[in-house]
Structure 1
Amino acid sequence: MSFLVTIVGTTLSLIMTILFAYPLSRKDLPGRSFLSFFTFFTMLFNGGFVPTYLIYTKIFHLSDTVWALIVPYLLMNAFFVIMVRAYINSNIPYEVIEAATIDGSNEGNTLLKIILPMSMPILGTIGLMTAIGYWNNWTNGVYFIHTNRDLYGIQNYLNSVLSNLAFLQSQSNPNVKISELPNISIRMALAVIAILPILIAYPFFQKSFVQGIAVGSVKG
């Protein structure tokens, strides 16, 4: 479930982010200033936990579904949208887009054949950060998974193990020898298990990560 949620969530997040950021980077987009402000506004204010929880559970009915681990809080990040928009404006000359339009390219072809190939560094950067967010997330499982524990990912499982261990330590049961419970060793082993996939994946994204973070000027 952790791999499924991470792969599907990261893919959908990248698609939605580029589809939102590319129009915002176009100077001829009607209402561009309002949409940019609206995107930035969501970084400062939100509806709070209770209204958000009610919307996801009562309106969208995401409880006890795999989408409860993908959609809430993680599917699209306004900060990532702003990063991609800034990268497109700074590193992809607008003249390239105009030349493609003059040659008869529509917006879809321009996005797929020009914008995406030239935006791979920033997409790799936000893809890595999004994947880390999905892999490390355990709050969605706690908030939205109530009965179907088969949907638990590795982080929820590890959190459950640690909670059960803490519960056993708090009990005065003569059959349980607190000193024999492998508290520190279990925590260290679980930490290694949780971080190992990220350590394996990071070297493959390191180059794109460095290039994407260093959003610089237009390169000729």
Structure 2
Amino acid sequence: MAKTKIIKRDARGVKMSLGYRITDVIIYALMGCVGIITLLPFLYIAAGSFATDRELTERAFFIIPRVWSLNAYKYSINNGNILLGLKNSFILTLFGTVVNMVLSTTFAYPLSKKHFKGRNFFLNMVIVTMLFSGGMIPTFMVLRAYGLYDSYWALILIGAISPFNMIIIKNFFQELPMELEEAAYMDGASEFRTFLTIILPLSKPVLASISLFYAVGYWNDYFNAMIYLQTPSKYTVQIMLRNIVLKASAISDIMMDYYDQNGAPPDKAVKMATTLIATVPILVIYPFVQKFFTKGVMVGAVKG
């Protein structure tokens, strides 16, 4: 009886040679090592936030603490207004991302039309803004003159449209089949209705990717919030983190009522706990947009 020869093939049905399979294994092994190396610092921060002062001093690196303590989190919540900062950052991130996406998509759509008169002129103006800016002091003076100082509008309007992100969206729109728009025009749809009912639903990959870029930018924004926000009740989570870190070095065992038998938390554990609190919320978003991320960026990055 003749033996059946088994041929290895990839997902596309292409025959895989022995060298190709070895290369594939090496690449996956290297990427796995890179992933582990990337994950280890985060695991150390997570473990250190639950550790005691003695363990942080004696052990240079660990991912599982011997003694678990919630004192660092108790201090961050009770003395740092971290929850208020999370609330403010969430509101700013949500509202700012919506404003950015509305302006970016409505600006990118007409520029994606090659028959649009003045298209090259507006594209050149966009590119100029990527190379030059008004500067920090003129921007501050303009925002203050318009009464936007100490408001979230100051953080939103100074970066309402990112030229780089807008160009990616424009290039993605250009890759969509023109026949779909022509069919909509023949059915009597206006430009605005075509944009809402056809273009945007087909652009979910790039919209999800760019929305993530904008959201992460707002969530991690520290410098602009420090300059344009003055009222403590409006501070974002990054400003709250700064205040907590500055106060952590002055933690005293006199405040024993807040803590357990392990005593006051070390300032290093407080820094790790606040870092984890500020990082986890934005990390939760990634699994929901991961399937759109690569497609949206790669297709939108094609020069058109």
Q: Given the two structures, how large is their TM-score scaled by the length of structure 1?
A: 0.86
**Inter-partner Cα distance in structure 2 for 1:16 and 1:216:** 17
**Inter-partner Cα distance in structure 1 for 2:265 and 2:281:** 27
- Out of 172, 188, 194, the position equivalent to 2:278 is 194
How far has the Cα of 1:183 moved from its partner?
Answer: 2.4
- RMSD value over aligned CA atoms? 2.1
**Inter-partner Cα distance in structure 2 for 1:54 and 1:127:** 29
- Out of 9, 23, 32, the position equivalent to 2:119 is 32
1:172 aligned residue: none
How far has the Cα of 1:165 moved from its partner?
Answer: 4.1
Q: Deviations over 1:107-145 (max 9, x none)?
A: 111100111011110000000111111111122221111
**Inter-partner Cα distance in structure 1 for 2:108 and 2:138:** 27
1:86 aligned residue: 171
Which amino acid letter does the alignment assign opposite residue 174 of structure 2?
N
State whether structure 2 residue 105 is matched by structure 1 residue 18: yes
State whether structure 2 residue 149 is matched by structure 1 residue 63: yes
Of stretches 183-192 and 78-87 in structure 1, the one that deviates more from structure 2 is 183-192
How far has the Cα of 1:100 moved from its partner?
Answer: 1.8
Q: Do 1:72 and 1:140's aligned partners in 2 also have CA atoms closer than 8 Å?
A: no
User: Which residues of structure 2 form unaligned runs of 5+?
Assistant: 1-87, 255-263
How far has the Cα of 1:88 moved from its partner?
Answer: 1.0
**Inter-partner Cα distance in structure 2 for 1:68 and 1:160:** 22
User: Rg: which structure is higher?
Assistant: 2
Q: Do 2:169 and 2:300's aligned partners in 1 also have CA atoms closer than 8 Å?
A: no
1:53 aligned residue: 140
Q: Given the two structures, how large is their TM-score scaled by the length of structure 2?
A: 0.63
Structure 1 residues 216 and 9, CA gap change in structure 2 (3 angstroms): closer
Q: 5 Å matches for 1:166-205?
A: 168=250, 182-205=266-289
Moved over 6 A (4+): none
**Inter-partner Cα distance in structure 2 for 1:182 and 1:67:** 37
Structure 1 residues 131 and 100, CA gap change in structure 2 (3 angstroms): same
Count residues with an aligned counterpart. Answer: 204
- Out of 140, 149, 154, the position equivalent to 2:232 is 149
